[in-house]
Chain A
Amino acid sequence: MQAYIIRRLLAMIPTLLFASLIVFITVRLIPGDIIDLMLSSNDIGADKKSRAQLEAALGLDQPMFSQYFRWLGAILFEGSLGKSLWQNTSVMEEVLHRLPITFELGLMALVVALLVGIPIGVYSAVRQDTVGDYVTRSFAILALALPGFWVGTLVMVFPSIWWGWSPEVKYISFTQDPLRNLAQMAIPALILGKAFSAVVMRLTRTMMLEVMRQDYIRTALAKGLATRTTILRHALRNALIPVVTLVGLQAPVLVGGAVIMEQIFVIPGMGLLLLEAVSTRDYPIITGVFLIVGVAVVVINLLVDLSYGLLDPKVRYR
């Protein structure tokens, strides 16, 4: 097991480096670089000399590989992800400022999904194919089928027209006012979590059914050797295994943000940071965000895989 963990962690490094190199190069290959964007916003035409001058000022006149190694060096020796090309502020600072906000939103969404999905999944497994099953499952699936941005827009717009109320449009941080912060995040978390809740529901239901239908369980039940509740608990424990896998799959959202919710509910998260950075071709931010998100996701997935192996003895690690 230990060897496996160490191997996985070591394998992470070349993967991330390789991927970061890909991102580094690819982003610079997008048509329309930052020089174009900076110069074109001015009212005087920019000639070759202006371009060259600006490129040098931004450090972009160096060959790609030397820029990449400088970036790498800054990370390893200074712990710095560089500076935003537009704002000249530290990328690390910006990312660290936004990461907890995104994490909070993602976590709350996950909690919503679990709180809604698991009970409905259990209920619809126990009452399979009854009207109750259909109604609750339909509820969960409808929640998934409504596009998130649409629900968000409706929640933002119509209460304001009918009752003069709207969600907060400025971000109140947790340290400032925890209750208002939670209240503000609750709505986008609900919307973000609703789709995932259907997935959780489906999975829980599947696992519950599988356990409950096994012959020895049915025999035990028939013989009165085990109560319904013990069966349920046993089944639920099994259902948690793939749910843990699901958490791993949510990792990119937990760390990378949910752009649509951030945009509608004015939450300064990682999603918006990345969207803006790509639109304005702010390369250091793009590569910095990618690296942080990449590390976090890989670590989360590693933890997930480990726990999965611990819970299900059939899976071996070779």
Chain B
Amino acid sequence: MVAVAEVVRVPRRRRLPGSGTLVFIGRLFRDKPLGAFGFVICVLFLFAGIFADVLAPYGYNQINPINRLKPPSEKFWLGTDNLGRDMLSRCLYGAQLSVIIGLSAAALATVVSVLIGIVSGYLGGKFDMIMQRFVDAWMSFPDLIILIVVVSVVGPGMGPVIVLLGLLYGIGGSRIIRGAVLSVRENAYVHAAQSTGASMPRILWRHILPNVMAPVIVLFTTRVGAVILAESGLAFLGLGVPPPAPTWGGMLSGSGRSYMYMAPWLALAPGLCITIVVYAINVFGDALRDLLDPRMRGSR
């Protein structure tokens, strides 16, 4: 698995120009049409995921062998799979699962990254060194060992996948946050706060954290996409959330591949879902990064 990483240097403290999220969204549409497009798609899928129970015409496990492998039609907009289940409903519930798994794992990863990155980057010295060695050791573990071990002991399921991916990305991403913290740490007002005797938690909370918010937010959004992709890779290896759970990755790597020739819609539907959503998340994340960092805004 590829760990997404960057270093973003934040030079000084500043507030978000303009006030309120609405203005922000306005700027998004005006200045970053591509990112806005991504944002709209993300919102649509979020909506589909949350309201899957209402939107889906059938259940996600409504097995009916008589209807198996039917191509898209009026009755089944995206066709049916090898057990006769409606693909549209399964993809909608898949969105729900992606929302849950993606948001949870990304949230966990971000919290872990921030905690490790901030504390380690700010304190520096021996603590930083030991922490980084721990991060090194963790990241030299082939992801596979951890995944198989945990999956064997605990059994495949949504919980292990979320925790595992959260930890894996969290520890890996801590480097980025740490890098940002290293830059912020040397700034004048931080020294000023230190010299006035402000306590460390106060400094971290009031001075460091707000100034690394930009990479944190961006990290979070890209993590969601990475988690969705990672789950599909796990599903390919048989370590993902097990059937009948309609994860896009599970559908794509399972019956999607088995019936590729006989029933291509089995793979097309979940495959397009994954691709479109991950694409949207990424362009939105890029736009966010551009907007949150004034130096990225360019000449316009």
* Interface pair B144/A274, CB less than 8 Å apart: yes
* Interface pair B233/A147, CB less than 8 Å apart: yes
Cα–Cα, bound, A259→B238 (Å): 12
How many A residues have CB within 8 A of the partner chain?
A: 73
Q: How far is the CB of B148 from chain A (nearest CB, A)?
A: 5
* Interface pair A297/B2, CB less than 8 Å apart: no
Query: B140 touches which one: A210, A252, A314 (CB < 8 A)?
Result: A252
| A residues near B274, Cβ cutoff 8 Å | 145, 147
* Interface pair B282/A198, CB less than 8 Å apart: yes
* Interface pair B5/A150, CB less than 8 Å apart: no
Q: List 12 A-B contacts (CB under 8 A).
A: A30-B149, A32-B152, A129-B298, A134-B33, A141-B279, A242-B5, A259-B144, A270-B142, A274-B144, A294-B137, A297-B140, A298-B140
Query: A290 touches which one: B4, B142, B295 (CB < 8 A)?
Result: B142
Cα–Cα, bound, A147→B261 (Å): 19
Q: Given that A129-B298, A137-B34, A245-B175 are known contacts, is A145 also in contact with B142, CB under 8 Å in the complex?
A: no
Cα–Cα, bound, A217→B281 (Å): 32
* Interface pair B175/A147, CB less than 8 Å apart: no
* Interface pair B153/A149, CB less than 8 Å apart: no
Q: A241 interface residue, CB < 8 Å from B?
A: yes
Q: How far is the CB of A260 from chain B (nearest CB, A)?
A: 6
Q: Given that A27-B149, A129-B300, A210-B296 are known contacts, is A15 also in contact with B233, CB under 8 Å in the complex?
A: no
* Interface pair B298/A213, CB less than 8 Å apart: yes
| B residues near A57, Cβ cutoff 8 Å | none
Taking each of A32, A259, A271, which has the highest tally of chain B beta carbons within 10 Å of its own beta carbon? A259
| B residues near A18, Cβ cutoff 8 Å | 137
Q: B139 interface residue, CB < 8 Å from A?
A: yes
| Interface class of chain B by DSSP | helix
B-binding segment of A83-91, A178-186, A201-209:
A201-209
Within 8 A of A (CB), among B165-207: 172, 175, 179, 182-183, 186
* Interface pair A209/B153, CB less than 8 Å apart: no
Within 8 A of A (CB), among B116-153: 124-125, 129-130, 133-134, 136-137, 139-145, 148-149, 152-153
| A residues near B44, Cβ cutoff 8 Å | none
| Interface class of chain A by DSSP | helix
Contact with B along A279-290 (1 / 0, CB 8 A): 100000010011
Query: A19 touches which one: B140, B183, B267, B278 (CB < 8 A)?
Result: B140
* Interface pair B296/A209, CB less than 8 Å apart: yes
Query: B279 touches which one: A145, A199, A206 (CB < 8 A)?
Result: A145
* Interface pair A153/B144, CB less than 8 Å apart: no
Q: Given that A129-B298, A142-B279 are known contacts, is A242 also in contact with B7, CB under 8 Å in the complex?
A: yes
Within 8 A of A (CB), among B238-266: 249, 252-253, 256-257, 260-261
Q: How far is the CB of B158 from chain A (nearest CB, A)?
A: 19
Q: B53 interface residue, CB < 8 Å from A?
A: no
| A residues near B89, Cβ cutoff 8 Å | none
* Interface pair B298/A26, CB less than 8 Å apart: no
Cα–Cα, bound, A150→B3 (Å): 19
Q: B24 interface residue, CB < 8 Å from A?
A: no
| A residues near B152, Cβ cutoff 8 Å | 30-32
* Interface pair A274/B142, CB less than 8 Å apart: yes
Q: A74 interface residue, CB < 8 Å from B?
A: no
Within 8 A of B (CB), among A1-15: 7, 11-12, 15
Name the residue on A nearest B237 (C-beta).
A259
Q: A157 interface residue, CB < 8 Å from B?
A: yes
Within 8 A of B (CB), among A265-285: 270-271, 274-275, 278-279
Q: B58 interface residue, CB < 8 Å from A?
A: no
Q: A173 interface residue, CB < 8 Å from B?
A: no
Cα–Cα, bound, A280→B6 (Å): 38
Across the A-B interface, the 8 shortest Cβ-Cβ residue pairs: A297-B140, A145-B278, A256-B142, A242-B7, A294-B140, A145-B279, A149-B236, A30-B152
* Interface pair A144/B278, CB less than 8 Å apart: yes
